[in-house]
Amino acid sequence: MKKDWQTTQGARSLEEHYARLLGIEAPWLVTRVEAAPGLEQIDVWVEHAPDVALTCPICGATAPGYDRSSERVWRHLDVCLIPLFVHCRLPRCRCPQHGVRRLRAPWEGGCPHFTEGFSHHAIEVLQETMNLSSACRLLGISWKQGCRLREWAVRVALKRRETKPDTHILLGVDEKAFGKGVDFATIVYSHTTRSVLEVVPGRSAEAAAHALSQAIPEPLRDKVQGISMDFSTAYAKAASEVFPQAHQVVDRFHAAALLSTAVDEVRRQSMKRPDCPPSLKNTRLLWLKNLRNLSEEEIARFDRLIELDLPVCEAWHVKYAFRFFYEQPSRVEAMKYFWVWFDWATRARLKPLIRVAKTFWHNIVRLANYHRFGGLTNARAEGFNSKIQSIKSVARGFRNFANYRFAILFHCSRLPLPTHSL
């Protein structure tokens, strides 16, 4: 015996109720609603009215019916915390111009097996946490379904991405370790919009050129004015190929890292000398730290070391002097200062310093371009690297590079993702 709410009148009211919840209007009709035992899920069946003519989904012309597809199921938003699934055998029509075509249901989203409403809600939940497993658990979907939703959202958003001429004037290129060993990824980001534009595997010239080409459409490439990067010749070659008019800027922090490495190498050489003073031992961090970050005790110890007039002392002075290259008022003044510094660095006759000085000499134009854009650096890239590392840590690694790329673009690219707010 049927329950009261399952009477003909009650069922009709229930069907009308769910039709309103789903936003279904004629010629689509809710024909049946069932609740699983224990209210584990609610299933709603929808059909196209048989007495209404079909229209081609491409041209909109009236076309005779052909057949119906096998039953499809879409996950919809929960009703009172109970998962709701929509079932339908979608009709197909035979268009004289376009042949047999399947009608598109009004609740369909771009991601298969999910309604538009659920897809948008899921993207909003995924945006709130970097932990994909936790988000999927809240949504009541599998991990693979969560990956598919995230990938779909990124693909849709990449097509929507704003491509105005002045959107990405200044770019940056950096590398980021992906897996174990020598697995690296090349990351292209925009200084203008403070977002990641593209991620590709590898750090070769070919990989960088592909990343830059994918990041900026060809009609807008001549609008790019500057690109920041490290000393990599591969990145320099790729930038010259894709953006020949853009000025390349070598990041000042990578320059400082080379100088710090040279100073530490000189210190190690000094440690091997028989006349090395005992006070030089365990002083590595003193030579590498910024003076402003030293404690009073460390400053006193450092002052005593400087008075010893060791080779490492001169190397440190040369390193410290290069910081004033970036404090010059103009690019021309910076070039003049560099030649004075270069003469000092080479006359010091310390091989590690000479090697770095020659590296700077070969890249002097790219170093001086720092002043062309008011102090363009890769500092923002390091910020992105920190966030990317958090994504990687929360995920406990990625099964393949595609998942890694979509996760970065989803959380770091500021893309117009398909959500209810759009």
Instruction: Please indicate, yes or no, whether residues 257 and 246 belong to a single structural domain of this protein.
Output: no
Q: Percentage of residues in the chain with pLDDT exceeding 90?
A: 54
Instruction: Please indicate, yes or no, whether residues 351 and 278 belong to a single structural domain of this protein.
Output: yes
Q: 320 or 9: whose pLDDT is higher?
A: 320
Looking at the domain assignment, is residue 416 inside a domain? no
Pairing state between β 226-229 and 28-35? unpaired
Looking at the domain assignment, is residue 113 inside a domain? no
Looking at the domain assignment, is residue 2 inside a domain? yes
- Which CATH number goes with the domain that contains 214? 3.30.420.10
Looking at the domain assignment, is residue 127 inside a domain? no
The three-point CA angle 356-383-254 to 5° equals: 5
Instruction: Please indicate, yes or no, whether residues 10 and 93 belong to a single structural domain of this protein.
Output: yes
Nearest to 104, CA basis, from 151, 69, 155: 69
Position 307 pLDDT exceeds 90 = no
Instruction: Please indicate, yes or no, whether residues 256 and 363 belong to a single structural domain of this protein.
Output: yes
The mean pLDDT of the chain is: 89
Looking at the domain assignment, is residue 7 inside a domain? yes
Q: Yes or no: say if 220 and 168 are a contact pair by the CB < 8 Å rule.
A: yes
Which of 241-269 are b and which e, b meaning 16 or more Cβ less than 10 Å from the residue's Cβ?
A: ebbeebbbbbbbebbbebbbebbbbbbeb
CA distance 79 to 294: 60
Amino acid symbol at 161: R
| Residue bearing tokens 């404690």 | 295
Residue 69, domain extent: 1-108
Q: 190 or 278: whose pLDDT is higher?
A: 190
Position 410 pLDDT exceeds 60 = yes
Instruction: Please indicate, yes or no, whether residues 201 and 348 belong to a single structural domain of this protein.
Output: no
Mean pLDDT on 149-163? 89
Confidence label for 1 from pLDDT (cuts 50, 70 and 90):
very low
Confidence label for 369 from pLDDT (cuts 50, 70 and 90):
very high
Looking at the domain assignment, is residue 398 inside a domain? no
Torsion, CA 180, CA 184, CA 189, CA 191, rounded to 10: 90
Instruction: Please indicate, yes or no, whether residues 211 and 232 belong to a single structural domain of this protein.
Output: yes
Lowest mean pLDDT among 52-66, 118-132, 153-167: 153-167
Instruction: Please indicate, yes or no, whether residues 285 and 347 belong to a single structural domain of this protein.
Output: yes
pLDDT score at 180: 67
pLDDT per position as a tens digit, 217-263: 888 899 999 999 999 999 999 999 999 999 999 999 999 999 999 99
Number of domains in the chain: 3
Indicate the pTM of the whole model.
0.84
Instruction: Please indicate, yes or no, whether residues 263 and 182 belong to a single structural domain of this protein.
Output: no
Instruction: Please indicate, yes or no, whether residues 285 and 233 belong to a single structural domain of this protein.
Output: no
Nearest to 322, CA basis, from 252, 379, 230, 396: 252
Q: Residue 171's beta-bridge partner residues?
A: 190, 227
